[in-house]
């Protein structure tokens, strides 16, 4: 199937799941994760009307998107950073992205806030939560989310829009989606970035507002 057909069938699936669970499909945003995809594939997605994209690495995102951004052809383009952010890349990230989804430590929050002030850009941010408490995964521990949120919001002045998670591979994802939803409710956040190609149907009933789909749209990564 083509990228356009994949996008279409995922939109249909979103509608089906939303109907089943009494959700408005307009509240579920489909992000196309374009990491490790070709320029041609990215253009196919743009041609099919896709405007929300996610990238994992700052440098790769610049290679993929800077020229497209500068062309001014897609004014409604939305680029989210969904991979780990090193503090030495904060400047470039603030310049390129519209949303940072991976705030996971105080030092990064402080640096982001300073850089946004410097560039006069106020990007919405998500706190990444390590719902499975995995050593190799970034993110704030569930029990520390509330305190971290207060620090980001009241000490750094960041615009925190929601929470994001990547569940462990070998756990039922619904446990983690349910936990993220609960944590967001506890601090009064409405945006939930959760669900990928393999599990977005399970993230929607649990309140996902952004599903991040790579291979399901573009096929396998090169």
The residues that touch ligand PLP, with contacts defined as CB under 6 A, are 33, 35, 56, 82-83, 166, 196-198, 212-216
Cβ distance to ligand PLP smaller for residue 48 or 114: 48
Shortest distance (Å) from residue 9 CB to ligand PLP: 14
Other residues' Cβ atoms within 10 Å of the Cβ of residue 118: 11
Shortest distance (Å) from residue 215 CB to ligand PLP: 4
Cβ distance to ligand PLP smaller for residue 94 or 102: 102
Token pair in block for residue 23: 């959700």
Tell me which DSSP letter residue 140 carries.
Answer: B
Cβ distance to ligand PLP smaller for residue 114 or 137: 137
Shortest distance (Å) from residue 198 CB to ligand PLP: 6
Instruction: Tell me which long-range contacts 1-7 makes (C-beta under 8 A, separation of at least 24).
Output: 2/44, 3/41, 3/44, 3/45, 3/48, 3/217, 3/218, 4/44, 4/47, 4/48, 6/216, 6/217, 6/218, 6/219, 7/32, 7/45, 7/48, 7/49, 7/50, 7/217
Cβ distance to ligand PLP smaller for residue 62 or 197: 197
Shortest distance (Å) from residue 11 CB to ligand PLP: 15
- Residue 165's contacts (CB-CB under 8 Å, 6 or more residues apart) are 128, 129, 130, 131, 139, 176, 177, 179, 180, 193, 194
Shortest distance (Å) from residue 117 CB to ligand PLP: 27
> Which residue's beta carbon is nearest to the bound ligand PLP?
214
Cβ distance to ligand PLP smaller for residue 142 or 214: 214
């Amino acid at each position: 199937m083509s990228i356009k057909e994949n996008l279409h069938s995922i939109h249909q699936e979103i509608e089906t799941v939303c109907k089943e669970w009494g959700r408005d499909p307009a509240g579920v945003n489909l992000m196309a994760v374009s990491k490790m995809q070709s320029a041609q594939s990215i253009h196919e997605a743009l041609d099919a009307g896709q405007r929300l994209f996610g990238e994992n690495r700052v440098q790769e995102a610049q290679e993929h998107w800077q020229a497209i951004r500068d062309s001014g052809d897609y004014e409604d383009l939305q680029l989210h950073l969904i991979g780990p952010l090193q503090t030495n890349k904060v400047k470039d990230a603030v310049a390129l992205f519209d949303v940072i989804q991976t705030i996971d430590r105080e030092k990064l929050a402080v640096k982001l806030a300073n850089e946004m002030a410097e560039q006069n850009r106020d990007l919405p941010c998500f706190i990444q939560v390590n719902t499975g408490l995995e050593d190799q995964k970034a993110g704030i521990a569930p029990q520390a989310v509330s305190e971290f949120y207060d620090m980001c919001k009241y000490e750094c002045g960041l615009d925190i829009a929601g929470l994001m998670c990547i569940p462990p591979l070998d756990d039922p994802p619904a446990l983690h989606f349910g936990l993220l939803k609960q944590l967001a409710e506890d601090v009064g956040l409405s945006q939930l970035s959760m669900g990928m190609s393999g599990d977005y149907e399970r993230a929607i009933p649990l309140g996902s507002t952004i599903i991040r789909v790579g291979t399901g749209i573009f096929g396998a990564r090169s």
